[in-house]
Structure formats: structure tokens, C-alpha cells
Structure 1
Amino acid sequence: MQLAQDSDAFNYLIAPDPTAPRLTRAVGGTDQKGAKTTIRVVEERPLTIFLNAQEIVTVMTIGDYPEYLALGFLRNQGMLQDGEDISGVDYDDELETVVVRTARATNYEAKMQRKTRTSGCAVGTVFGDMMEGLEDLCLPQTPVRTSWLYSLSSTINRTPSLYLEAGAIHGTVLCSGNQPLVYMEDVGRHNAVDKIAGWMLSEKIEAEDKILYTTGRLTSEMVIKTAMMGIPVLVSRSGFTAWGVEIAQAVGLTLIGRMKGRRFVCLSGEERLIRDADPAAIAEEPRRVGRKAAR
């Protein structure tokens, strides 16, 4: 597995590395005045995921943490069981493939015939019934302090990232209380979530006291993936879809969106919010500085 990267400034277990040369490239163009300019743009590359001998899917990704992405995708699709005996995860950079091997024989041909294209950027895919595995799910009713939300939003939005460097990317952060732990980015928000799911599976991380923060919309896919991971709280800078809200309410997920500065909206789980911070004491979020041109 790729080693986690430390961030001394923000104490992440894994943090974005906007300087990694493989994730962006410099591209020349012209600006609004016709002047020549060079900017860094995010790379996209295919990654084909196998479960044992069966090819499952090819996803478009920036290419970091491919093993975590494969594990998380399969876990969130219900193709890896709780307590699964995973005998190997093999990544081939030249072939752009990851093979996840299990002690259990697997065959998901029938499930893969039922495929849903989701609203995610870079076009997400869900196999089988989208609600499969949620029928009897009831998430832990974990309380959430609003002071945590404000602290997390401030820290995450100041963290050096590919979004600030090049744009065209989504970020997702696994948090515990007011501490962000793992920050993943990708061209599709579903990929960023799957990377976190894969890290949690690989490191055997418990989910019941965690918060998932995302820069993307709170769609049905995002809510379902969060619920399947067992995480009871989902927070976003962006807005909601109606089905995403309905699913969150059905499974007991605390759902908070439009989290910017002192403002947020909670559409599910209001009874679990502990309002221990005065919004008037929270600084408004400053306007973002424009992304840097490559020098």
C-alpha cells in the first residue's frame, strides 16, 4: 500500500500533496486579454478494478492511493463483506489495474447487470439496487457539536490542496470530533469517498464516532456511501438533493450542508446537534484567493 503522508501543519494522517508532479501537469493557453499563460491542470487516468479474476469497473481517477480506491469501491458496492478475508491487493502501475483477492470465491456477474449511472462528477456507477444493504440499517445516533463543525470547516478550507492549486477536483475528509484525519481528493467525489472507505477497511478504523466532510453535493450516492461505511454524520460546503435528504432521514444520518463560515443548514438529525458555539462569534469565510498560475 502507498504510505500515508504526514502534514505537520494540520496533523492529518493523510493530507493532499498539491506539489506531486504526477497529479497535475502544466498547460499553456491564453487568458481573457489574449496574453499567454501557463496553469497547472489535474490529470485523469483510468484504473481498472478486479475482484479476484472478475473485472468489475474502470474508473477515471487522478491516480493516487489506487489500492484504497479499489478496496473502498468494492466495499461500498457490497462486494466485500464485513470481516472479509482479503488475501492481497496488487497494483500494477504499467497496466493501470488493481486486483483485490479474497479467500472467498466471488462472482458478481448478475449484480453487475443492474448498473446505475449516478450524478457524480466523472460519472459514478452503482451496481445492483442502489438501496441494497440499507433496508435494515440504522446508524448510531452520535451527537455532533457545532463547535466541531466550525473548527473543521476552518481547518479544511485552509489546508493546501489540489483544489486550491488547480481546481477541477473534489475533496472528502474523515474527521473525529474537531480533528480532521484523512483528506482525499479526486476528479469525482465518489472516488474521494471510496479512497477513505478503503483506508478505513485497510486500517480497521471504527466508524461510529466519525464525521465525513465533503466539498461536493449531498446526493443520494453520497448519502448511501456514507451510510454503507457506517459513518453517522455527513457535512458539505455544497447543497442537497431531495432523495439524498430522504435517505439520510430514513437511516438516521445527520446531514448538514451549505457549511460556509458561520452558516450551515441541517436537514436530518437536528436533534443530535449540540449547539455549543455562538455563530455570531464565528468569522465569516474570506473570499478564496485565485488559484496560482504555474511559474
Structure 2
Amino acid sequence: MDLTELRVAPDPADPRLTRRVAGLDEAGRPVETSVTMERPLTLYLNGQEIVTMMTILDRPEDLAVGYLLNQGMLRAEDRLTAVDYDEDLGVVVVRTEARTDFEEKLRKKTLTSGCAQGTAFGDLMEGFAQVRLDPEARLRTSDLYRLLHRINTIPSLYLEAGAIHGCALCRADQPIVYMEDVGRHNAVDKIAGWMFREGVSGADKLFYTTGRLTSEMVIKTVRMGIPILLSRSGFTAWGVDLAREANLTLIGRAKGKRFTVLAGESRLIFDADTRYVPEESAKHWRKNSAEALDAGA
């Protein structure tokens, strides 16, 4: 598969993804703004209902497959026989050759730190200790800065309407796939599903997210076999501990010329002169960030 052409989803110009809403601004003046749409999607695996998710519904097939992978309900060696989406019913059905019964797994639930409190079924750490990430993977800081700039120039639903998270699968300084959703874990799962369906390995890749570097984000990245995780947001303590345990390179607070690495620092090659790295444009600051508050955004 050709991975040189960037794949972007969703299309921020898609009229199904946003709605114009009238209101008032801080001075009581009439204002109209775009808001992001979200809709329920119910996922079935081999006829068994698994979960209903809130999503923007732009990549339901990838979301379904990635969700099942990251919940341990699909394995890398499983073969899909069908992935069917019914837009009218808001249902996606995944079928595999393997016989599946997850009644017991579905009974054990963990409310995670995902947006609106996500749910992990069964053992949250299932298969985590068995993953071996590539210890030879490297990232030059010059490539990291170019990557951040390129991601910020991708047309996005966030810049159109906000209330959205973005994720990108990358190689060195080039994003390969960029996806967004109302929940950061939905965006992660979409990319995991795309990788599985297209047969793309994570061994020589880097994963970028706008979301917090929590335990669940680290676990999903490790399960995807990706050795470097990068975010513009901050860390949780357990996320850092798990990254160190798995030898995952964990880079957070990456904005403009600044970043912090708290795990797997041996993969970084510090070759960039930060005097020549530009600061990030204010239009890319996420709502409620320290920079945005200081600027009065």
C-alpha cells in the first residue's frame, strides 16, 4: 500500500458533521457559530451487541474494527468476513471467521478517563505485557518539529467547529492518516481499525494525539505496536508508569518549540536548534489551554 499520500477524515466541509446555531456573545450581541454533530452508533460482533458509542459517524467501519481490537475482542490474526454499516439504523455489524462470546467479558467494566468516561471491558491490561515495541526506532527532534507544523496545517473539523479531538499515524515527519472525533479514543480506534483493515504495521510509526496521555491512551498505543506516542496535552502518572514499563517513548505538551519527554527518551535524537523553530500559531491552541487563557481566547 502507498503510504506517501496523506489520508484525512473527516472532511471539515461535510455539511452532515456540523450545524449552525444562533446565540449571544459575551456582550449580549447575536452570534451564530458552527457546532459539531454527534450521533449514536451501535456495534455488533457476530450478532452479539457490544456497545453504543457517540461519534461523528464519518468512519463507522474503521471505528468498529479499531474499538474491537483495542478492547481485545479482535486479535491480529483474526480474519474479517464482513463489516456492514446501516446508516438509517445507526448500526455497524462486524463478522469474523472465529466464534465469539463475550458475555463474561462485557460484565466486567472499567470506567476510564476517556471523554465522557469511556468504558473498557474485561481486563484493561489484557495482552499489554506481551507486546514488544521496536527498541531501535528513533525520532529526530528536527523531524518532530516539522511533523507538528504539518499536522497543524491539515484541514480539520476542530478549526471549523471545535469540540473535537484529532489523531494522526505518522512516519518520521510525515503524517500518513489523520482522523477526528468527539472522543479522543474514538479517533484512536478509527486509526487502529484502518491499520488492521489495510494491513499497516505500527512498528516504524509514530502516533500523535491532541488528547491527554492517560493509561488507556498508552495501553492502546502499545497494543497497536507503535513505539512513539506524541501529544500536545499533558500526562497522568499511571500513563507515564505504563509507558516506562512498555518502553514506549512518551512525549507530551508538544506545542511550537516546546515538548516534554517522560519515557523512552533514548529514542530521541536532539538535532534541532530551537532558536529557529517558530512558535505555534494562536489559531491552533486548544480551548482552555494556558496559552489561550493568557491571550484572552
Normalising by the smaller structure, the TM-score range is over 0.9
Alignment partner of 1:188 out of 183, 186, 189:
183
Q: After TM superposition, list the pairs within 5 Å mapping 1:1-295 onto structure 2.
A: 11-141=5-135, 142-288=137-283
Letter of the structure 2 residue corresponding to residue 248 of structure 1: A
User: Do the aligned partners of 1:122 and 1:187 also contact (CA within 8 Å) in 2?
Assistant: no
- CA RMSD between the two structures: 1.5
Higher alpha-carbon deviation: 172-181 or 281-290: 281-290
Letter of the structure 2 residue corresponding to residue 210 of structure 1: K
* 2:240 alignment partner, SS class: helix
Q: CA deviation at 1:225?
A: 0.6
CA distance in 2, matches of 1:69, 1:194: 5
Aligned residues: 282
Q: CA deviation at 1:138?
A: 2.2
Q: CA deviation at 1:290?
A: 9.2
Q: CA deviation at 1:158?
A: 2.0
* 2:283 alignment partner, SS class: coil
CA distance in 2, matches of 1:169, 1:273: 29
Q: CA deviation at 1:163?
A: 0.7
* 1:206 alignment partner, SS class: coil
Letter of the structure 2 residue corresponding to residue 214 of structure 1: T
Question: In 2 relative to 1, CA 122–20 (structure 1 residues): closer, same or farther, beyond 3 Å?
Answer: farther
Write out per-residue CA displacement over residues 106-136 of structure 1, whole angstroms, 9 at most, x where no aligned residue.
0011111111111111331111111111122
Q: CA deviation at 1:11?
A: 4.6
Letter of the structure 2 residue corresponding to residue 189 of structure 1: R
Letter of the structure 2 residue corresponding to residue 278 of structure 1: D
Write out per-residue CA displacement over residues 18-52 of structure 1, whole angstroms, 9 at most, x where no aligned residue.
11111111111111111111111000100011100
CA distance in 2, matches of 1:54, 1:62: 23
CA distance in 2, matches of 1:254, 1:242: 15
Q: Give 4+ residue runs of structure 1 displaced > 4 Å after superposition.
A: none
User: Do the aligned partners of 1:253 and 1:268 also contact (CA within 8 Å) in 2?
Assistant: yes
CA distance in 2, matches of 1:123, 1:157: 27
* 1:98 alignment partner, SS class: strand
User: Do the aligned partners of 2:9 and 2:180 also contact (CA within 8 Å) in 1?
Assistant: no
User: Do the aligned partners of 2:228 and 2:248 also contact (CA within 8 Å) in 1?
Assistant: yes
Q: CA deviation at 1:137?
A: 2.1
1:6 alignment partner in structure 2: none
CA distance in 2, matches of 1:95, 1:286: 41
TM-score normalised according to structure 2 size = 0.92
CA distance in 1, matches of 2:281, 2:55: 30
Letter of the structure 1 residue corresponding to residue 42 of structure 2: T
User: Do the aligned partners of 2:20 and 2:34 also contact (CA within 8 Å) in 1?
Assistant: yes
Higher alpha-carbon deviation: 280-289 or 139-148: 280-289
1:4 alignment partner in structure 2: none
Q: CA deviation at 1:289?
A: 7.1
Percent identity at matched positions?
Answer: 60
Q: CA deviation at 1:15?
A: 4.1
* 1:165 alignment partner, SS class: helix
What residue ranges of structure 1 are gaps of 5+ in the alignment?
A: 1-9
Letter of the structure 2 residue corresponding to residue 273 of structure 1: L
